[in-house]
Amino acid sequence: MNQTILHSTIFFTAYGPPGPVNYTAFFLTFLLFFITIFSNISLMLVIYLESRLHKPMYIFLFNLAVNGLIGCLSVCPKIMDNLVNDIKDISQKGCLLQVFFSSVYALCAYVILAVMAYDRFVSICKPLQYHSIMTPSKVKMLLALVYLFPITMLAFQMFITSRLPVCSYNINKLFCDNLAVVKLSCVESALSNLYGICVIASLVVLPFVLVVLSYIKILLVCLKVSKESRKKALNTCAPHLITFINFSTAILFSVIYNRHSTVSKEVNVLISVHFILFPPLVHPIIYGIRTKEIRTCITKIIRTRIFPNSLNFPHLKSEPKLVPIMTLDGTAAGQGLPV
């Protein structure tokens, strides 16, 4: 009798035995993981601490950083554990949780990027109406859609996947993804395939189209304004556009990778790292470098909160000179005042 995915153990076959290659991969993964966690938490703290950044664009950016942490924490610790252990396995529930949270990371990020594109569209194409459109209640509603819609759809997808009967227990990848788990089944589920297409269409294709349409509108508006205004608008959009292209590339490589699981070990590692670590790693760096307001706030926090006395250079200060206080008859009345 075939058992379901909920009563099995999954083994990864893409790692190879522990050795110099795996230890090197562990070190590099740990380094990237640490930098990713540090950069995202730092960006979140800057946005949280600085009231001038409490605007819709930066609130969405804060949530993009949170989402990046979800992706890293859902996959990287288990990858590092498998790199140094002899047995590369994961529990059935752990595999489904890994699929769920890594999918939440990917799909919620895409929806957040679409919402950020809408914010840029309103800011540039309807600047006088921006504050009346992007109200606090509107921002809260958009954030609710960012999380509730993808999480609800993915929860139902995990339920469908968990009910499939399993005949195989080996995955030739570094971590679990939904398609790999579905391929372990003894039967082909039409419902799972159809629902997967609906998820991709709703949470990847539709956001992609909305972002493209937003930037077409922005470009048309920029062509009608002065050169200086055009430059300012494009500079405002540049971090988001770079982030969107970077994440879209990661999603594309991941889709191709999922459809062709018989790839070399090196390609396996590269695609996995690119999908899970690279976008969350570079997104805070891109916004930190390209956004003047964030750069200014980072400098302010470093100077006022982290190193408040670092610019005083007390060892360079000379002792103050005392000028005697003279009385009316010309005699000194005391030590005097410092100058």
Q: Give the pLDDT score at 98.
A: 93
Q: Angle between the 278-290 and 56-84 helix axes, to the nearest 10 degrees?
A: 140
Which pLDDT band holds residue 35 (cuts at 50, 70, 90)?
Answer: very high
pLDDT higher than 90, residue 12: no
Q: Give the pLDDT score at 34.
A: 93
- Tens of pLDDT, residue by residue over 284-337, are 888 877 777 888 888 888 888 766 765 454 444 444 555 555 554 555 555 454
Instruction: Copy the structure tokens of residue 282.
Output: 């570079």
- Tens of pLDDT, residue by residue over 174-209, are 888 888 888 888 887 788 889 988 988 888 889 999
Give the integer Cα–Cα distance in Å for 92 and 181.
10
Beta strands, E only, 75-167: 89-91, 165-166
Q: Give the pLDDT score at 293.
A: 82
Which pLDDT band holds residue 115 (cuts at 50, 70, 90)?
Answer: very high
- Tens of pLDDT, residue by residue over 39-59, are 999 999 999 988 888 999 999
Q: Three-class SS of residue 178?
A: helix
Share of the chain above pLDDT 90, in %: 29
- Tens of pLDDT, residue by residue over 149-182, are 999 999 999 999 888 888 888 888 888 888 888 8
Give the integer Cα–Cα distance in Å for 39 and 325.
57
Q: In terms of Cα–Cα distance, which of 277, 225, 56, 320 is closest to 269? A: 277
> Is 101:74 a contact under the CB 8 Å cutoff?
yes
Run of H or E residues at 105: helix 92-125
> Kind of pairing, strands 322-323 and 170-171?
unpaired
pTM: 0.82
Which pLDDT band holds residue 265 (cuts at 50, 70, 90)?
Answer: low
**Residue 278 half-sphere exposure, CB side, CA atoms within 13 Å?**
19
Which pLDDT band holds residue 112 (cuts at 50, 70, 90)?
Answer: very high
Mean pLDDT check: name the lowest of 9-23, 211-225, 256-270. 256-270
Q: Average pLDDT of the chain? A: 82
